[in-house]
């Protein structure tokens, strides 16, 4: 997972500062820890992230932070991969207890890599506040890095800068697509399925059906495969089974629909990953545009993929209600495969799995 092109000066421009770290294991129960801040992202280990020290950092962190569990616990988490990869488990469903974006994206990638080629897997997670950029995007043109850096104490906030909401991670995901903002009012849904079954609308339509069963009749899939809420003022007759049109859909010139879910994809030889946001009840809706608008965009010519801006809105549902409804819709959609053979929660303890730990480390050094 390489950084976007045009970022060769990034390592020279990172400014690192060391903070106290009271525990080498950021997830050990009852232990506090503080983070090491860089100009772009936040990492937990207490070694400076310089190119010549990355191997030493990983070795040190794994040795003291990850292998703190007993042999029995390690075996328990290795069984997660065994169950995930079992060809008998055609339909699986997971929910993360963690709000760590690096961990959730690493578990998601592990599911893509290890699940059987003919299986379909649902993964739901909520991240702490973070900005997530696409694999081929340039953060200098996509993100207001001054706000992120000011929140981390990397520089003093200017009077002209909009207010921030505290520390916000900057994460580069492994899929394409545009830049998005995650917080506690956004549910991320991810489905990994056989590549031959994949279409860009297939699972977005599933989400729309789930929303409509919760009374959100304005929800539909648009021509960009995003989920929007129509804003028409008059109610017209519409087929309730049509997930691409609602009673409030208007022709060109009418009120512009509001985006509530944006998607990104990653395809392998046999597998397809479709993951997306769902703005349910974000408390930061008013400030998201400040984070996703780079003041440097007009003066930088970049070769990366640019995001497409759209007006956004909250749906007005709480996360737990929608999460439960979406799990039910997923099981209904694939009822011919039987009930999901695995319905399980995952969390920080899964960092004991070497592949997930490796992915976790990679996401932090490749922003």
Q: What is the pLDDT of residues 79-109, one digit of tens each?
A: 899 999 999 999 999 999 999 999 999 999 9
Dihedral of the alpha carbons of 125, 127, 130, 135, in degrees to the nearest 10: -20
Q: What is the CA radius of gyration of the chain?
A: 21
Listed range (95-104, 141-150, 280-289) with the worst mean pLDDT: 141-150
Q: Mean pLDDT over all residues of the chain?
A: 80
Is residue 167 within 8 A of residue 253, CB to CB? The reply is no
The residue count of the chain comes to 367
pLDDT at site 310: 83
**Mean pLDDT computed over 198-217:** 98
Strands 227-229 and 219-221: antiparallel
- With a pLDDT cut of 70, the percent of the chain lying above it is 71
Give pLDDT, residue 212.
98
| Residue 305 confidence (pLDDT) above 50 | yes
- Measured in whole angstroms, the distance separating CA 286 from the mean position of its chain's CA atoms is 20
Domain boundaries in the chain?
9-68, 89-365
Three-state SS at 182: strand
Counting Cα atoms < 13 Å in the Cβ hemisphere of 261 gives: 29
Q: pLDDT band for 34, please (50, 70, 90 cuts).
A: very low
Q: pLDDT digit string (tens) for 130-142? A: 999 999 898 988 9
> What is the architecture of the domain spanning 89-365?
2-Layer Sandwich (3.30)
Helix (H) or strand (E) holding 53: none
**DSSP secondary structure string for all residues of 159-184:** TTSPP--S--EEEE-SS-S--EEE-T
The residues facing 188 across adjacent strands are 125
User: How many other CB atoms are found less than 10 A from the CB of residue 229?
Assistant: 23
Contact 179, 142 (CB under 8 A): yes
Q: Which residue has the higher pLDDT, 298 or 94?
A: 94
- Residue range 159-183: mean pLDDT, rounded: 83
Confidence of residue 173 (pLDDT cuts 50, 70, 90): very high
The helix/strand/coil state of 308 is coil
Quote the percentage of the chain above a pLDDT of 90: 61
Question: What does each C-alpha distance from 77 to 71, 113, 354 come to in angstroms?
Answer: 10, 16, 10
Q: How much is the pLDDT for 165?
A: 81
pTM metric for this prediction: 0.77
Lowest mean pLDDT among 106-115, 118-127, 282-291: 282-291
């Amino acid at each position: 997972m390489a950084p976007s092109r045009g970022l060769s000066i990034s390592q020279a421009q990172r400014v690192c500062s060391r903070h106290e770290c009271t525990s080498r294991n950021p997830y050990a129960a009852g232990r506090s820890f503080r983070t090491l801040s860089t100009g772009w992202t936040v990492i937990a280990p207490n070694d400076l992230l310089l190119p010549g020290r990355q191997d030493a950092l990983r070795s040190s962190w794994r040795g003291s932070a990850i292998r703190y569990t007993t042999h029995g616990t390690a075996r328990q988490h290795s069984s997660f991969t065994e169950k995930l990869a079992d060809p008998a488990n055609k339909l699986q469903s997971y929910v993360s207890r963690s709000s760590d974006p690096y961990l959730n994206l690493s578990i998601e990638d592990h599911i893509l890599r290890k699940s059987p080629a003919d299986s379909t897997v649902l993964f739901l997670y909520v991240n702490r506040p973070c900005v997530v950029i696409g694999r081929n995007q340039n953060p200098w043109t996509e993100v207001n890095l001054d706000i992120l850096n000011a929140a981390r104490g990397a520089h003093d906030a200017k009077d002209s800068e909009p207010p921030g909401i505290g520390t916000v991670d900057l994460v580069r995901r492994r899929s394409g697509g545009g830049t998005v903002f995650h917080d506690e009012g956004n549910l991320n849904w991810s489905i990994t399925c056989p590549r031959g079954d994949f279409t860009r609308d297939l699972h977005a339509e599933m989400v729309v059906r789930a929303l409509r069963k919760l009374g959100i009749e304005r929800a539909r899939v648009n021509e960009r495969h995003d989920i929007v809420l129509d804003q028409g003022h008059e109610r017209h007759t519409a087929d309730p089974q049509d997930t691409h049109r609602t009673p409030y859909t208007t022709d060109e010139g009418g009120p512009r629909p509001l985006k509530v879910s944006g998607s990104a994809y990653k395809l392998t030889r046999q597998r397809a990953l479709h993951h997306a946001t769902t703005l349910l009840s974000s408390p930061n809706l008013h400030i998201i545009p400040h984070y996703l608008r780079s003041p440097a965009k007009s003066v930088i010519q970049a070769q990366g993929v640019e995001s497409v801006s759209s007006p956004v809105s909250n749906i007005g549902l709480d996360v737990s209600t929608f999460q439960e409804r979406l799990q039910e819709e997923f099981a209904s959609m694939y009822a011919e495969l039987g009930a999901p053979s695995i319905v399980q929660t995952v969390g920080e303890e899964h960092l004991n799995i070497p592949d997930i730990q490796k992915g976790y480390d990679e996401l932090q050094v490749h922003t």
